[in-house]
Amino acid sequence: MRHNSKVRMNRLFGGGRCLDVAIDHGVCNEPSFLDGLEDIQAVVNSLVAAGPDAIQMNFGQADLLQDLPGKDKPALVMRLDMGNPYNRIRHRDMWAVLQNEAEPLIGALQMDAACVVVNLFMLPDEPDLFRQCVANISRVRADCDKYGMPLMIEPLVMQPVTERGGYMVDGNAEKIVTLTRLAREMGADIVKADPTDNPEDFHRVVEAARCPVLVRGGGKEDLRAVFDKSAALMRQGAMGMVYGRNIYQHANPGAVVRGLRAIIHDDASGEQAFALYQQG
């Protein structure tokens, strides 16, 4: 962290670590992302009961969390941008814009967010999209410094759209390390990074970030594999996870949260976390 004014960080990191459950997928304009999020109020209620450290949302839904009474609820992480790279086709015009161009931080301040998050897309042959993301981050960072708001930057290295139908994560450690370093150079307080293909390489991402690194989940996978990978990434120096579909698209999201919390806060193994999950 660049200075001590960002006291909101304390609300995110219980014991220095964080499980942030992302349910901000509604701005991606991708139908498959909405499976499991149809009743957003019910999702928020079940997640609050499960007790992650944070829930990641957009301004238009954040009231569902922040209107709940009491102080013992997850911190709000608010997404500030939106774009069109998540569809299965490559659009003629690829874009990423701030949801509020005039005052990007106003909604996060109004809704008492503990942190804001902005994408840094690195897609093949899309330099203008990358430039837009850099401009978004530059615009937001000045306000983050002004108001003491922690800035989470999400560096995303994608494969060509032709590879697997839709832009998929490129787990190349060299590319992830390089883009993470760029995020740090731009002033990230937290980096939300993709896992490297080989989890044993992830310490290089942590070293490049020089700030807390949370691992991004991506598409839904076999849960036991998710737990094993998560534990391996924590051993490499990650400070937690930002998982969405791997939580909210499961039949029992609360049980998944319980397993992940054990990995993040209690250094549980993937096997131990899966046993906790199976308890229902």
Q: How far is CA 207 from CA 1, 114, 232, in A?
A: 14, 24, 16
Q: Does residue 234 fall inside a structural domain?
A: yes
Strand partners, 156: 121
- The confidence score (pLDDT) of residue 104 equals 97
Q: Does residue 3 fall inside a structural domain?
A: no
- The confidence score (pLDDT) of residue 95 equals 92
C-alpha 157: how far from chain center:
14
User: Chunked in runs of 10, what are the mean pLDDT values of the chain (280 residues)?
Assistant: 71 94 94 94 96 98 96 96 87 93 97 98 92 97 95 93 70 97 98 96 98 91 95 98 95 96 98 95
Other Cβ atoms closer than 10 A to 38: 8
Q: How far apart are CA 97 and CA 81, in angstroms?
A: 6
**Exposure string for 62-88, b = 16+ CB within 10 A, e = fewer:** bebbeeeeeeebbbbbbbbbbbbbbee
The radius of gyration computed from the CA coordinates of the chain, to the nearest angstrom, equals 17
- The confidence score (pLDDT) of residue 88 equals 78
C-alpha 64: how far from chain center:
19
State which amino acid sits at residue 174. Answer: E
Q: Does residue 158 fall inside a structural domain?
A: yes
Sign of CA dihedral 107, 108, 110, 111: positive
Q: How far apart are CA 273 and CA 276, in angstroms?
A: 5
At 191, which CATH number?
3.20.20.70
Q: Does residue 2 fall inside a structural domain?
A: no
What six digits make up the tokens of 191? 């980096």
State which amino acid sits at residue 224. Answer: R
- The confidence score (pLDDT) of residue 234 equals 98
- The confidence score (pLDDT) of residue 269 equals 98
Q: Does residue 4 fall inside a structural domain?
A: no
SS3 240: strand
Q: Does residue 23 fall inside a structural domain?
A: yes
Range of the domain at 55: 9-278
- The confidence score (pLDDT) of residue 220 equals 83
Q: In the chain, how many domains are there?
A: 1
- The confidence score (pLDDT) of residue 2 equals 46
Q: Does residue 1 fall inside a structural domain?
A: no
- The confidence score (pLDDT) of residue 139 equals 96
What six digits make up the tokens of 64? 């569902």
- The confidence score (pLDDT) of residue 218 equals 77
CB 37 within 8 A of CB 25: yes
- The confidence score (pLDDT) of residue 131 equals 97
